[in-house]
A and B are shown apart, each in its own frame.
Chain A
């Protein structure tokens, strides 16, 4: 190894300049008005970015920072002065001089109806993000009658790792995006059918174990309604033992390969019952593989009968 002695036996000196990414090209700013207050955002920012920069809370359902907006849910609509229709804040780009209303009567009515349509047709019993919105907007899902509950169907429980209950699906497309181009690129699921028949499906509607699914669970991570649920959570809920108030959530690093994914371990009664990863984490962006998301059983006390 003599040819390498100089670098093998002592640490190299520090570089003079800090090794960093090249600076991003400067972006012009755009000034818009949100609920009467002026706010500057970088060119290319969305109205949602502008609303948040202005400190205005705009509810979202199908939107997630890590996914490409698909404009499916219309919960985030805002009113833009001079525009014929309400604009989805998650994807509409901010333009100079736009005057945005985030909470006008028209916006509130639209959101209310959207929520009523969803809640009347879909089982939102585990949609913890949505239920507060129903109250906030005074939604009355019952006004369409029992016949509106069109989505009910049997639970798909066809594998050991996760359960799909499409009675709870609001067709936000997040799972399709996460399985597809925005993260996992496995393409095991897509939206099949049109109109009332639109639904999330594997290819030819085969059971998950016969599909292309690799069980990363990145679809579960983004599902806002609990339609997609990891098996341990599903089982505990069925038994009436799911108790978020008794759970702790602590970040650690995955025990498997050397990528270094942050795992948030959700622990109930000294058992890991769920693993997630923070969406804002630069390594994972909320995504994991099958081992990271499900390979924790070895640290749980074996259950009686195992």
Chain B
């Protein structure tokens, strides 16, 4: 099952936190409140991030690694833990598989080699490794700094290896946690909005699972996985995908290599967009279906980063002719000839509960106050604070957890004389994604798009704060004002993608795709910067 293994409360009671590729202070502010409670109780905080972010300001140690060297860092930590005799041998022996091959794969990663590969001093790597391994409880939390790379899944697996090596999973205060970037990115996956999953995280290529859905739905569910988002764009490029129905997404501005994405969307036979706002993608659409706002104008559920399923409710009437997504989809199905019965959000939810064992006990009545964490198997089950406790039963119940063999691989686009700067992208506190929802509110801290550069690079380029420059990658160019940020090291630059109508950052980003997850390498493009005259 894919989800953060721990509860927010656990980070308040842990002893060591690796915040890896995450600026949670700005991107998950209320989670960071819980994290700070832990820090104040004495937990050591390590932030691993190319930028010295506002999260890093709270850290005991900031490990400022070079973009895309996460696996090298994790491997070096793993080797240090093993050779220092700090691995949790009992857990490894009883609850995991593949340790010997894993050990062999990381043994070449000496502290010196790790320092050379990552830019993090050997002493810092050693300190992190020892602190993590020897802490009674320790957690790893990450965000898109881990997953928006061409080797996203391998990055995650390298962090899981660290948790398995030290037994820091499946216990209160120890766990591995992706902080989800959208209010229902966890729930969307749980509900089957993944190319290889049916609702309840059940694999579509599992015959027994599929048979149950076939019976419940009276249809034959296709027995093979579909395309992920990037796969869809590749299929558009090949001409295999010619009709697209986009619900609550703005791919015309959110996809990497935006020129390419726009051309593919424009080449579709039909594009249908269902959204709260008239997005840039909607401007390209043949049909626009105005949707009610999910969080404020619709009934349903969302699932958070601690696997907590909570109710969203209609707080006001939808604007104009907009309708709830459920009503639109049911109507569309009927127009296409399906005899779907009339139902409401609770009816759909109860259908899910009958098909997804981990949601079985979550009635609307039980979800009313504060929600429940999956798995929650039946109406008497209270939900589970953390996952994988079974790994601590002897003998282990069910399959053991496998170590993974992954290789360090630098970002697809290397720096060179023509494109000498590393561009990494991310969010700011007051904005959200392409600005569709945040644009309409007035924020006193909003300052528009900038290209953030280190003081050293600003001096070298001869540019000052606010000066407009042209930023160029192999895929496109934009003009943006310079912001000098001492949190950046020489060679590293940063932009958001919050203001695509003014500065289309994704004209610069690269659609180098992780073949396992379909995620693009938003975190690592190569760019050049040229000052513009006045």
Contact = CB atoms under 8 A, between A and B. Distances in A.
Contacts of A288: 30
A283 B172 contact: no
Interface in A250-298: 250-263, 265, 267, 270-272, 281-285, 287-292, 294-298
Contacts of A216: 29
A153 interface: no
Interface string A237-261: 0000000000010111111111111
A9 B98 CA distance: 19
Interface string B293-321: 11111000011111010111111110100
A89 B402 CA distance: 55
B477 interface: no
B389 A252 contact: no
A7 interface: yes
A287 to B, nearest CB: 6
A288 to B, nearest CB: 7
Contacts of B184: 258
Given A3-B98, A299-B316, A256 B437 contact: yes
A295 B438 contact: yes
A299 B293 contact: yes
Interface stretch (A12-20, A36-44, A138-146, A197-205): A12-20
B296 A255 contact: yes
B316 A272 contact: yes
Interface stretch (B83-91, B118-126, B200-208, B232-240): B200-208
A261 B371 CA distance: 11
B444 A208 contact: yes
Contacts of B202: 11
A257 B440 CA distance: 17
Contacts of B311: 251-253
Contacts of A302: 440
A260 B179 CA distance: 11
Contact of A296 (B58, B183, B305, B441): B441
Contacts of B296: 252, 255, 265, 272, 296, 299
B430 interface: yes
Given A260-B305, A283-B304, A255 B404 contact: no
B310 A258 contact: no
Contact of B308 (A13, A20, A260, A291): A260
A250 B8 contact: no
B183 A295 contact: no
A205 to B, nearest CB: 17
A14 B183 contact: no
Main secondary structure, interface of B, reads loop
B294 A255 contact: yes
Interface in B30-46: 30-31, 33, 36, 40
B147 interface: no
B276 A298 contact: yes
Interface size class of A (residues with CB under 8 A): 35 or more
Contact of A259 (B28, B98, B384, B430): B28
B402 A7 contact: yes
A215 B445 contact: yes
B46 to A, nearest CB: 18
B313 A257 contact: no
Contacts of A294: 441, 443
B352 to A, nearest CB: 15
- Count chain B CB atoms within 10 A of each CB in A4, A17, A181, A260 and give the residue with the most: A260
Given A13-B390, A256-B432, A299-B276, A159 B308 contact: no
A28 interface: no
B397 A13 contact: yes
A256 B183 contact: yes
Nearest to A214: B429
Given A255-B293, A282-B9, A298 B440 contact: yes
Contacts of B305: 258-260
B222 interface: no
Contact of B430 (A255, A284, A291): A291
A21 interface: yes
Nearest to B202: A11
A280 to B, nearest CB: 9
Contacts of A257: 27-28, 179-183, 432
B370 A260 contact: no
B398 interface: yes
B357 A11 contact: yes
13 contacts: A14-B377, A19-B384, A19-B385, A185-B36, A209-B444, A258-B183, A259-B30, A259-B304, A272-B316, A283-B8, A283-B308, A289-B29, A298-B438
Ranked nearest first, the 3 interchain pairs of A and B with the lowest CB-CB distance are A258-B180, A260-B304, A160-B442
Interface of A: 1, 3-4, 6-22, 159-161, 181, 183-185, 208-209, 213-216, 248, 250-263, 265, 267, 270-272, 281-285, 287-292, 294-299, 301-302
Given A4-B404, A7-B399, A160-B444, 18 more contacts: A9-B206, A12-B1, A13-B398, A14-B397, A18-B382, A19-B385, A21-B13, A160-B443, A161-B442, A248-B315, A252-B312, A257-B28, A257-B432, A259-B305, A272-B296, A298-B440, A299-B296, A299-B316
